[in-house]
Amino acid sequence: MRNEQENTKALIDKLESLHTLSRAEFAEILACDDDYLFERARCAAHKVYGKSIFMRGLIEFTNYCKNNCYYCGLRAENKKARRYRLTKEQILECCKTGYPLGFRTFVLQGGEDVYYTDDILADIVSEIKAAYPDCAVTLSVGERSYESYERLFRAGADRYLLRHETANDAHYRTLHPDAMSSFNRKQCLRDLKKIGYQVGCGFMVGTPGQTPEHIIDDLFFIKELQPHMAGIGPFIPHSDTPFRDKTAGDVRITLNILAILRLMQPNLLIPATTALATLDAQGREQGILAGANVVMPNLSPVDVRTKYLLYDHKMCTGDEAAEYAAGMRNRIQRIGYEVAVSRGDCIDISSHTINPSPGQCHPA
């Protein structure tokens, strides 16, 4: 037993210094329950970002979607979803509320809603950037053409979140209808990076049929893509989707993946997701203590929050944005971290002075 533990610790150290492992070694760390993994991951995060946690204001501006991902409550065929769209004025109002609360990034997220043409979205992005020039705008509106991504970038969008969902093509096909492809999704991510966006990929943990081998494919895909951000959260079933009877993802494995990613790419921006907080009341804190450094409180108007239901029991308080942000700040301070009032861009570690050597790092 002691030998096994020593082995795992040695592998974690190896990951910290080499930023990669063999498939068999990754599999061993994925399954481990040694908190030494989290300790090393926190330490790696501290070396690049200190004890700062970046806050992004999430504006869920439409829940219309033309797609039919089998896992998602917003899928077009879910006739029970109560659909809504926010106007440009409503979106700007969310930013107006968020700015004095310290938000310096606004994330516009929604289904693939054809109503938001390039003209409409570009106009919204450029108005936000004109009103809040010191803020970053992140888009998360799914797959679009190269020209569309370029147009939105020129309008001022800084970042784009597009989870690749699974890097394994066969697994991708079991989660999506034929109209969608893993190839196209990955191509979108490469296009976004080429255009100049800070790019975020990611995947759900515990989607039906997912094996450790699939997760290792995801880790290698992330290694190859070298994104700026990676969003990893547990899959949670939604009762009005084909996956209604499936089991939710595992919290411990999700935390292990956050920690592995932190050690693989120490400058990565990694959110402690709402899905993690939905499955475990301490999920956000646990995520940060496993190496995450981003939180995304909801800035959407209170009356639409209960309609943006990707999965059942989504953690969604009726708090106004101010209370929500204050609550989040307190929770983060209680575990020894500080919310930074800054855009929170990805730090280029090639030009960064790295803090103490592993031996000198004393995480919380």
Q: How far apart are CA 330 and CA 166, in angstroms?
A: 34
Q: How far is the CB of 229 from ligand SAM (least distance, A)?
A: 13
Binding site for ligand SAM (CB under 6 A): 71-72, 74, 109, 111-112, 140, 142, 162-163, 165, 204, 233, 235-236, 238, 275, 310-311
Cβ closer to ligand SF4: 38 or 116?
Answer: 116
331-349 as b/e: b if 16+ CB within 10 A: bbeeeebebbeeebebeee
Asked if 144 is part of the footprint of ligand SF4 (rule: CB under 6 A), the reply reads no
Judge whether 308 and 63 are in contact, CB under 8 Å. Answer: yes
- Is residue 212 classed as helix, strand or coil in its secondary structure? helix
Q: How far apart are CA 275 and CA 163, in angstroms?
A: 14
Q: DSSP alpha helices (H): ranges in 58-100?
A: 88-98
Q: How far apart are CA 61 and CA 309, in angstroms?
A: 13
Amino acid 278 reads T
Q: How far is the CB of 44 from ligand SF4 (least distance, A)?
A: 30
Cβ closer to ligand SF4: 5 or 145?
Answer: 145
Asked if 266 is part of the footprint of ligand SF4 (rule: CB under 6 A), the reply reads no
Residue 139 partner contact from ligand SAM, ligand SF4, none using kind-dependent CB cut-offs of 5 to 8 Å: none
Estimate to the nearest angstrom the gap between the alpha carbon of 38 and the chain centroid.
18
Q: How far is the CB of 12 from ligand SAM (least distance, A)?
A: 27
Q: How far is the CB of 316 from ligand SF4 (least distance, A)?
A: 16
Judge whether 288 and 332 are in contact, CB under 8 Å. Answer: yes
Q: How far is the CB of 249 from ligand SAM (least distance, A)?
A: 8
Tokens of 189: 């991510």
Of the candidates 183, 173, 132, 139, the one whose C-alpha atom is nearest the C-alpha of residue 157 is 139
Cβ closer to ligand SAM: 163 or 171?
Answer: 163
Cβ closer to ligand SAM: 74 or 101?
Answer: 74
Residue 236 partner contact from ligand SAM, ligand SF4, none using kind-dependent CB cut-offs of 5 to 8 Å: ligand SAM
What is the H or E stretch that residue 19 is in?
Answer: none
Region of 70-78, 154-162, 295-303, 320-328 interacting with ligand SF4 (CB under 6 A):
70-78
Asked if 75 is part of the footprint of ligand SF4 (rule: CB under 6 A), the reply reads yes
Q: How far apart are CA 364 and CA 357, in angstroms?
A: 16
Beta-carbon contacts of 264 under 8 Å, excluding residues fewer than 6 positions away, are 15, 19, 20, 219, 222, 223
The one among 111, 200, 287, 291 contacting ligand SF4 by CB under 6 A: 111
Q: How far apart are CA 317 and CA 281, in angstroms?
A: 13
The one among 45, 55, 65, 321 contacting ligand SF4 by CB under 6 A: 65
Query: From residue 166 to residue 205, what is the string marking binding to ligand SF4 with x (rule CB under 6 A)?
Result: ----------------------------------------
- Is residue 53 classed as helix, strand or coil in its secondary structure? strand
Residue 75 partner contact from ligand SF4, ligand SAM, none using kind-dependent CB cut-offs of 5 to 8 Å: ligand SF4
Q: How far is the CB of 90 from ligand SAM (least distance, A)?
A: 18
Site residues (CB under 6 A) for ligand SF4? 65, 67, 69, 72, 74-75, 111-112, 142
